[in-house]
Amino acid sequence: MSYQDYECVIGLEIHAQLKTQSKMFSADSTQFEAADNAHTSIVSVGMPGALPTPNRLGVELAIKTGLALGCTIRERSVFARKNYFYPDLPKGYQISQYDEPLCENGRVIYLLDGAKKEVRIVRAHLEEDAGKSVHIGDASLINFNRSGIPLLEVVSAPDMRSPREAAQYAKSLRQILRYIGVCDGNLEEGSMRCDCNISVRKKGETRLGTKVEIKNINSFRFVEKALEYEFERQVTLLHSGQAIVQETRLWDPDKNRTFSMRIKEDADDYRYFPDPDLLPLVVSSSYIEGLKKQLPELPLERFERFQKQYGLPSYDAEILTEEKEIADYFERAVVVCGNPKAVSNWMMTDLMRLLNDQKLDINQCPISSESLGELVQLIDSGTISGKIGKTLINEMWDTGRRPKQIVEEKGLVQISDEKVIEGIIDAVLKDHSHAVAEYRSGKTKSFGFLVGQIMKACKGQANPQKVNELLKKKLES
Amino acid sequence: MDREIVKKVAHLARLELSESELNAITNKLTLVLQHFEAISQVNTEGVIPLVTPVDIEYRFREDVVEGDISVDEVMQNAPSRQGNLFKVPPVI
């Protein structure tokens, strides 16, 4: 048997928690860190007679997402009840959208190994989260803090043909959600969750195979691993003449495998119907247009602009546009100094290392973008050497002070005055006469040693180019 | 309406029906469906499905946190509990 005779067909359903303070249909808090059942209301625990009222911001963030994904926004959409029994769903139904979702027919374009790929978005609809159950031997324990949290379910078409493509699409979607500020994309805390639908078929076949849904995946690495496992499992079954069962499976990250959770219910089994407690959701085209104007430049556009406008290599552009805040920081620093490549180098090496070491976001960076721009400017104008710059950035990090201030106070200004440099060189040559003799006898390695001694003597402040020039002149005279 | 469909719907609604109830409900639901069949004879071409009979302006709530109920209040409704969590028969 060869896996190469088969291909997989993957579609993802991604649930994004919309960044609101209060829940979708009630005013209790959405805060993640909270005591058990501390954030509930009569609506979110499903008290009889309690009525839902939609959160304006929840709707707004959903529409913004739809627009960023190129979807058509339905001016009149309908909330429906999805009926099923589970203890973390106290009403016996989830408020969702069924045949008239808010957003439809969009797409995500993303990069995979430098090439553009496209995934169609079938729909994105608003719904509420259920509570959380924890299973302990003889019982299940339920916490309703999550119940009613606004979710946008983004459903892709079955357009992906490999686990890697699927993981990359999911990452790109997360990046877009974070850029437009609708979702923090934290997979560990569950503010973004990914369900994968996968089927396999012989290559060349156009009909779709029976699909299996994999739930419970909380990292992009696991998206890829779970799909790889599932591809092999399904191919093995088909090859031995067995049928694939349409079911929901769970990913077990400890055992690196998926296992069957339940036989998947058909949409009919959910007995969807319009929720009589909620009016159809009506939004005007002018409101939608207004939201469209608020959207920032999206990651892919920005990535392309950074290469064009700043002449950055695609590697730099990709890293600098990964997060909106990093890209903003970069552009602000460039305004100050006008040297994009230098800013990029400082950010990708020193700044990111410092941030990683301290586990800080760029927003918490003690060095402001203006300070970094100023640092580049000081080097470009020859005021300080690049070597001093390396020391300076650490000092800027520790003190949060502007580089000009530090340079002036500590007298770190680069020495370019030839007379002063010559004086330092003469002293060093006098102290290291054997190295001078070695150089003159043909051991040119001694040159580097002497430069090192000179730089040490001047605490790295001498203009290195001038040091090289003058030293050569003196040795060869 | 056959008995198998009634059984399935009853299962989805988590209702347990005895044999005689099953027969009775199958007959009643058949009548209900016949009633809807009669209604579906009406020509509704071009008529937008009615989601709500109330044609009023949509009302939103602003995104402001208020009106939580306290843990003690919500836990009053727990027949069984462990700490401040609802305890229910095991479900996976």
Q: Is B60 in Cβ contact with A59 (below 8 Å)?
A: yes
Interval A183-214: pLDDT, tens: 999 988 889 999 999 999 999 888 999 999 99
Interval A72-129: pLDDT, tens: 999 999 999 999 888 899 999 999 999 999 999 999 999 998 899 999 999 999 999 9
The pLDDT score that the predictor gives to residue A33 is 86
Interval A155-177: pLDDT, tens: 999 999 999 999 999 999 999 99
A interface test, pick of B61, B62, B76, B87 with most A CB neighbours within 10 Å: B61
What does the alpha-carbon distance between residue A346 and residue A354 come to, in Å, rounded to a whole number? Answer: 11
The pLDDT score that the predictor gives to residue A269 is 82
Smallest Cα–Cα separation from A95: which of A52, A138, A133, A159? A52
Q: Is A56 in Cβ contact with B62 (below 8 Å)?
A: yes
Checking if the pLDDT of A340 tops 90, the result is yes
Interval A436-456: pLDDT, tens: 888 888 888 888 899 888 888
- Which domains, from first to last, does chain B contain? 1-42 (1.10.20.60)
ipTM of the complex: 0.81
Average pLDDT, whole number, for chain A? 92
Nearest CA in chain B to A55: B61
What DSSP string describes A136-183? Answer: ETTEEEEE-TTTT-EEEEEEE-S-B-SHHHHHHHHHHHHHHHHHTTS-
Nearest CA in chain B to A19: B63
What does the alpha-carbon distance between residue A118 and residue A395 come to, in Å, rounded to a whole number? Answer: 45
What does the alpha-carbon distance between residue A225 and residue A228 come to, in Å, rounded to a whole number? Answer: 5
Interval B26-72: pLDDT, tens: 999 999 999 999 999 999 999 888 777 776 767 899 999 997 788 99
Interval A249-307: pLDDT, tens: 988 888 888 888 866 556 678 889 999 999 989 999 999 999 999 999 999 999 999 99
User: Do residues A25 and A15 lie in contact, with contact meaning Cβ atoms separated by under 8 Å?
Assistant: no
Question: Which pLDDT band, with edges at 50, 70 and 90, does A1 fall under?
Answer: low
What residues does each domain of chain A span? 3-291, 297-410, 418-476
Q: Is B56 on the interface with A (CB under 8 A)?
A: yes
Contacts of A43 in chain B (CB under 8 A): none
- Class of A418-476 in CATH: mainly alpha
